[in-house]
């Protein structure tokens, strides 16, 4: 079908042409859209279409080969019905997203320990007074169980601990709604990517570490994940050019850095799908 007509190119970047469709992660969508816009001004013959739909859709469609790029918040291995299919995909990491616990402004805390955080998100701690706050019930707002943000957060914070079955905090599928809810609901706590931070709620330090891009690059701040743009193992030139553009300094130092993402180029550590962190030399 015409929507998938892939790009043809003769190599030189100023004569790139063709069309690219990228599907997937709604969290990554704004960044890719903004970059694609710039890329298209530089390469007028290239058409890039960015579609949302969720990380699951991105991985499904790139695995089927029906699009050129599949955007995802999580490693493809964790989503695919058959994880070995991931071998047919190339993982392009274009940014890092840091996430931090956020609370309603009426919570007088600025810092929380990782243990307390785990206690809250496993239902052991239910009142702010248990961790030095006022006598107020904690309202936990979780993310939908399949969302990338949630799996990142749970990997980093719960560290394998299981929330009991009778602990069922409310869930929201989307960051926007979470931001609104935390801002409006007294005593609430949730977690958000850095890019959603605003003045309507409060961001907590964890174990005294501030949620900043710098701390993410050194893995001092532990709650972070990659944003992936999966392509096939042999992408066409236009697609490859766009991926290269995404990781180029031009995008990384402006769009990525300016909008709350952590540039991939600044990372001093690397993490694999299983969660093992290695220092980059």
Interface residue list for another protein (CB under 8 A): 1-5, 19, 21, 23, 26-27, 29-31, 33-34, 37, 47, 49-57, 59-61, 63-64, 66-67, 79-81, 139, 144-148, 151, 162-163, 165, 168-177, 180-181, 184-185, 188, 195-196, 198, 258-259
Distance of CA 48 to the CA centre of its chain: 21
Which residue, 37 or 272, has its beta carbon nearer to another protein?
37
**Cβ at position 68, least distance to another protein in Å:** 11
In angstroms, the CA 252 to CA 13 distance is 19
**Cβ at position 186, least distance to another protein in Å:** 8
Contact status, residue 261 vs residue 102, Cβ threshold 8 Å: no
**Cβ at position 31, least distance to another protein in Å:** 7
Task: Give which of 8, 40, 25 is closest to 151, Cα–Cα.
Answer: 25
Three-class SS of residue 209?
strand
Which residue, 174 or 240, has its beta carbon nearer to another protein?
174
Three-class SS of residue 155?
helix
**Cβ at position 207, least distance to another protein in Å:** 26
Which residue, 188 or 225, has its beta carbon nearer to another protein?
188
Which residue, 64 or 278, has its beta carbon nearer to another protein?
64
Which residue, 64 or 88, has its beta carbon nearer to another protein?
64
Dihedral angle sign, alpha carbons of residues 246, 20, 70, 29:
positive
The DSSP secondary structure of 19-72, one letter per residue, reads EEEEEE-TTTHHHHHHHHHHHHHHSTTEEEEEEEE-HHHHHHHHHHTSSSEEEE
Q: How many CB atoms lie within 10 A of CB 240?
A: 17
**Cβ at position 167, least distance to another protein in Å:** 9
Which residue, 8 or 218, has its beta carbon nearer to another protein?
8
Distance of CA 107 to the CA centre of its chain: 26
**Cβ at position 79, least distance to another protein in Å:** 5
């Amino acid at each position: 079908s015409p929507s998938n007509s892939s790009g043809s190119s003769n190599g030189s970047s100023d004569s790139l042409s063709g069309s690219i469709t990228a599907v997937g992660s709604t969290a990554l969508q704004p960044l890719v859209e903004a970059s694609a816009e710039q890329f298209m001004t530089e390469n007028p013959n290239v058409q890039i279409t960015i579609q949302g739909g969720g990380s699951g859709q991105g991985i499904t469609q790139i695995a089927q080969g029906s699009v050129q790029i599949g955007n995802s918040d999580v490693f493809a291995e964790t989503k695919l019905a058959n994880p070995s299919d991931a071998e047919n995909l190339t993982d392009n990491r274009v940014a890092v997203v840091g996430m931090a616990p956020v609370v309603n402004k009426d919570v007088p805390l600025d810092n929380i320990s990782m243990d307390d955080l785990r206690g809250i998100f496993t239902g052991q701690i239910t009142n702010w007074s248990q961790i030095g706050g006022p006598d107020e019930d904690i309202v936990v707002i979780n993310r939908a169980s399949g969302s990338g943000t949630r799996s990142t957060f749970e990997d980093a914070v719960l560290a394998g601990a299981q929330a009991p079955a009778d602990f069922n905090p409310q869930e929201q599928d989307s960051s926007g709604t979470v931001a609104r809810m935390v801002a409006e609901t007294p005593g609430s706590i949730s977690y958000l990517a850095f890019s959603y931070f605003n003045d309507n709620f409060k961001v907590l330090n964890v174990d005294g570490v501030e949620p900043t891009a710098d701390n993410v690059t050194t893995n001092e701040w532990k709650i972070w994940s990659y944003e992936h743009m999966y392509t096939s193992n042999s992408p066409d030139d236009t697609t490859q050019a766009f991926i290269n553009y995404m990781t180029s300094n031009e995008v990384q130092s402006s769009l990525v850095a300016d909008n709350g993402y952590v540039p991939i180029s600044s990372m001093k550590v690397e993490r694999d799908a299983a969660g093992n962190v290695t220092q980059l030399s």
